[in-house]
Amino acid sequence: MKKILLGSTAIVAAGMIVSAPSAIAAEKLKLSVGGYMEQWFGYVSADDVDGQDYGGFDIKSDAEIHFKGKTKLDNGISVGVNVQLEASQNGDQIDEAYMHIDGGFGQIIIGDENSAQYKMHYAPSDYGIGMNSGDVTAWNKTITDASGDKINNGSSYRAPFGSTYIEPDAVNDSTKISYFTPRFGFVGNGNGFQLGLSYAPDGTQDSNSLPNRDAVNSDYVMIGANFKQKMGDVSVGISGGYGTVTDTAEATADGEDSKDEPESMNFGIKLGLGGLSGGVSYANFSDHGDKDAEGINAGIAYAQDGW
């Protein structure tokens, strides 16, 4: 029987599956290459404040190359990997890099990937510059006036001003472990309720260093839940999520058990009828300093069949 190091290592690292001869993959891991590219040309109207003028025409881009692989073990469990390379990086050459384990028990994700609060959220569809993807912040620059006050304090890529897909402290792709239940409660493949839970030791990404809990916020917990149902051309999706920091560096420095921990919550609903879809979503940041904010967005989209 053929063995693959990557598959067997993944099983041991997960610490949740006992590796046995029958659990070794019968097939080699097969990698595929994919990705996407987006280019925008636009115009920004902005005031000139204290020598800071960000108005005018500009070009923005976003591109990634994805390496994905998956294999199925003899016991029926699937193990996969996903590594996403930024083609136009800004301080983060590898966007996401994680392993996933799938079976009748649900799904486990380990590595640098978004949390259950993020992944289970429903919101209006993204088109153009991505009003709910955080891309809008690339066109809305945070500036500081002569008195030191910031304009657009909440303007952050993963804060409510930029997106309702949020997590506490805007940790986004920090290293974490997540579990997602199978969908249950309704007849039909892929329909019904689903729950998700994520834990991150700290907010860092691409790092194997132990977190210094006296110096950084640590022990993040994020949960998500959603329901979706599709009947013919009609579809509905409802979601809710919450995240918090259970151990703050500020509390540790003051010798206290706890301080006001950064929290995030989001809710969303999305409806579809044939090619027409619409949605509303809400997000809230609390105890995030100048990123404290709440946001709401709504959108309608129509997808036309091929000509």
Contact 216, 203 (CB under 8 A): yes
Same-domain status, 94 and 142: no
Residue type, 305: D
Q: How confident is the model at residue 54 (pLDDT cuts 50, 70, 90)?
A: confident
Q: Residue 185 domain-assigned?
A: no
Q: Residue 187 domain-assigned?
A: no
pLDDT at 252 over 60: no
Residue 215: domain span? 115-173+195-307
Q: What is the pLDDT of residue 28?
A: 81
Question: Of the residues 74, 93, 113, which one is the last residue of a structural domain?
Answer: 113
Counting the structural domains of the chain, the total is 2
Same-domain status, 216 and 71: no
Helices (H), the chain: 5-14, 116-119, 249-253
Whole-prediction pTM value? Answer: 0.82
Same-domain status, 126 and 12: no
Question: Of the residues 71, 89, 113, which one is the last residue of a structural domain?
Answer: 113
Question: In sequence order, what DSSP letters do the residues of 204-222 get, joined into one string?
Answer: -SS--SPP-TTTS-EEEEE
Per-residue pLDDT of 68-113, as tens digits, reads 999 999 899 999 999 999 887 666 688 899 999 999 999 999 999 9
Main-chain phi, psi angles of 222, to 5 degrees: -135, 135
